[in-house]
Structure 1
Amino acid sequence: MVKKLKRRVFLLLEAKQHQQKLSRFFDYFLIFLIISNTIAVCMESVENFFEVHQTELIAFNRFSVGVFTLEYILRVWSCTTLQKYRHPIWGRLRYMLTPLAIIDLIAFLPFYLPFTRVDFRAIQLLRLTRFLQLLKLGRYSRSIKVLTQVIALRREELILTLNMVIFLLIFSSSLIYFAEHEAQPDKFPHIPASMWWAVITLTTVGYGDVYPITPLGKLLGGILALLGIGLFALPAGIIASSFTEIIAMNKIAKKTLSPKICPHCGKNIDQPLDDSTDLDN
Structure 2
Amino acid sequence: MKKKIFDIIQISDKSNIVSRAFDLTLVIIIFTNIGVMFLETFSELYLYKALFKKIEFWTTMFFLMEYILRIWTADYLYPKTDKIKARLKFLISFDGIIDLLTIIPTLYLTGFVAFRMLRVVRIFHLFRLNAQYDSFNVITSVIIEKKNQIASSIFIIMILMLAGSLCMYSAEHEAQPEVFNNAFSGIWWAVSTVLTVGYGDIYPITALGKFMAIIIAFLGVGAVAIPTGIISAGFVEEYTKDQHILNYSNLDSKDILEIKVEKNDDFCNKKIMEIKDIIIYLIIRDELSILPTPSLTLKKNDIIIFKKFN
Q: TM-score range by the shorter chain?
A: 0.7 to 0.9
Matching residue of 1:10: 6
1:54-203 to structure 2, matched below 5 A, reads 54-83=49-78, 86-111=81-106, 113-114=107-108, 122=110, 126-141=112-127, 144-203=136-195
Which structure: larger Rg?
2
The root-mean-square deviation of aligned C-alpha atoms, in Å, is: 2.8
Displacement, 1:67? Answer: 0.9
- The aligned amino acid for 2:88 is L
Tell me which residue corresponds to 2:230: 238
Q: Which of 18, 27, 34 is 1:38 aligned to? A: 34
State the Cα distance separating 1:140 from its structure 2 match.
Answer: 1.7
Contact kept in structure 2, 1:137 and 1:144, CA below 8 Å: no
Q: Once the two structures are aligned, what percentage of the paired residues are identical? A: 30
| Kept after mapping to 2: 8 A contact 1:85/1:92 | no
Shift of 1:99: 0.8
Rate the CA distance shift 1:226–1:102 in 2: closer, same or farther, 3 A. Answer: same
In structure 1, what residue type is equivalent to 2:92? L
| Partner SS, residue 94 of structure 1 | helix
Q: Is the 8 A contact 2:63 2:99 kept in 1?
A: yes
User: Unpaired runs of 5+ in structure 2?
Assistant: 128-133, 257-310
Q: Give the alignment's TM-score, normalised by structure 2.
A: 0.71
Aligned to 1:274: 254
- The answer to whether the Cα contact below 8 Å between 1:107 and 1:133 also exists between their aligned partners in 2 is yes
Q: Note if contact 1:172-1:224 (Cα within 8 Å) is conserved in structure 2.
A: yes
CA offset digits 1:7-37 (Å, max 9, x no partner): 2222222234675332222222212221222
**Stretches of structure 1 lacking an aligned partner (at least 5 in a row):** 115-119, 260-269, 277-281
In 1, distance between residues paired with 2:200 and 2:255? 68
The whole-number CA distance in structure 2 between the counterparts of 1:275 and 1:147 is 33
For 1:166 and 1:99, the matched residues in 2 are separated by: 28
Separation in structure 1 between the aligned mates of residue 237 and residue 64 of structure 2, nearest angstrom: 37
Note closer, same or farther for the CA distance 1:71–1:218 as it changes in structure 2 (3 Å cut). Answer: same
Count of aligned pairs: 250
Specify which of 206, 210, 217 is matched with residue 202 of structure 2. 210
Give the TM-score normalised by the residue count of structure 1: 0.78
Instruction: Give the Cα separation in 2 of the matches to 1:254 and 1:160.
Output: 33
SS in 2 for 1:110: helix
Runs (4 or more) in structure 1 with deviation over 4 Å come to: 142-146, 244-256
In 1, Cα distance between the equivalents of 2:244 and 2:46? 49
